[in-house]
Amino acid sequence: MADFYNICLDIGGTKVLGAIFDKNDKIIYRLKKKTKEGGDNSDSVEKVIISVVEEMINESGINKKDVRAIGVGAPGVVDSGKGVVLFSPNLPWRNYDIKTPIEKKFGVPFMIGNDVNVGVLGEYKYGAARGFKNVVGFFVGTGMGGGLILNGKLFTGNEFKAAEYGHMILDPEGPLCNCGQRGCLEAFSSKKGMSAYILQQASRGRETMLAENIENGVFKSKALKKALAANDEVTVEAVDRACHYLAVATGNMINTISPDVVIYGGGVIEAVGDIFLKKILKEVDKYCMPSIRPTVKLKTAELGDDSVIYGALSMIK
């Protein structure tokens, strides 16, 4: 069999992570690039995607003609059938057709899906959810994403809009979320939610080492890990609060779906997943039907930063 390659991308609010997979599904080259450098319009993000693909092809030394397909996970509501990003909260895309210009540029099939859906698919095919048929995924990052595998298939619902349970409302009078609602899981348990709590406490005169590490409304996961290791009181409170609401949301999803496994992924989990899982496990039984809980496993993702790129590979295959 002749050599061929698949190029897979994870498009975030601040970066594009790219990887080239060979025919044996091994990563032979990877690259990370910031997305903000070109400005705040759709074209600038598109240019960064194109530059990442071109740079990877050039630097890896593969032949452009041997690229078989490009797969992408992107944040927001994505029409996977048409290759259109309908809405993305952290990127400047509204009803944006990304498929057409990329296919025109590279002359190969282009597939795109919601990043967390794609990340959960990656864990299902290659990571912590292998061997399970029904999977609930919570990805804790700048925002809070969800992904569902039902009976062995990615469930995206009507018009690809399912699994937005980062916007499950847990307190109608809670903090305002980016989506416009109040008291969403994301408003409590994401980096943005935890950062807002930390800044609120700092504004009341409480000392916390994490406040100075918050830029553009979010902290870096490494800074969170450091603050927790130092037992920073406000940080511990923010994490306890985040895990409490994650436990409530997990219980709701367990009662609704009765999955085989719940997977926690994303940048926060990659940095401090053991701490989060321990706290969630301590509380989650309070919010589950006793008859359902024993049949569900709770695990952290195995692929780390690579969940989405492996999921993009799964879409291609």
For residue 148, the surrounding DSSP H or E stretch is strand 144-150
Provide the pLDDT for residue 315.
95
Provide the pLDDT for residue 281.
98
Provide the pLDDT for residue 44.
66
Residue corresponding to tokens 């509204």 = 94
Side-chain-side CA neighbours of residue 213 (13 Å): 18
Write out the two tokens for 253. Answer: 């999803």
What are the sequence ranges of the domains in the chain?
5-118+307-316, 128-301
Start-to-end C-alpha separation, the chain:
16
Predicted model pTM: 0.91
Write out the two tokens for 261. Answer: 């496994």
* DSSP string for 169-236: BS-TTSPBPTTS-BSBHHHHHSHHHHHHHHHHHHHTT---TTGGG-BTTB--HHHHHHHHHTT-HHHH
User: What distance in Å separates the CA atoms of residue 311 and residue 153, rounded to the nearest whole number?
Assistant: 13
Do 128-301 and 5-118+307-316 have the same topology in CATH? yes
Using DSSP, state whether 107 is helix, strand or coil: coil
User: What distance in Å separates the CA atoms of residue 258 and residue 261, rounded to the nearest whole number?
Assistant: 9
The CATH architecture annotation of domain 5-118+307-316 reads 2-Layer Sandwich (3.30)
- Identify the CATH number of the domain defined by range 128-301: 3.30.420.40
Q: Average pLDDT for consecutive 10-residue bins of the chain (317 residues)? A: 89 86 96 66 73 94 95 90 83 85 95 94 97 97 93 93 94 93 97 97 96 92 96 98 98 98 96 97 97 97 95 95
Provide the pLDDT for residue 40.
54
**CA dist 267 to 37, 46, 198, Å?**
21, 23, 18
Residues in Cβ contact with 181 at an 8 Å cutoff, skipping those fewer than 6 apart: 167, 169
Provide the pLDDT for residue 89.
66
Give the residue ranges of DSSP H helices in the chain: 42-60, 99-106, 115-126, 185-189, 191-203, 221-229, 233-257, 267-283, 307-316
Which region holds residue 68: left if phi is over 0, alpha if psi is between -120 and 50, else beta? alpha
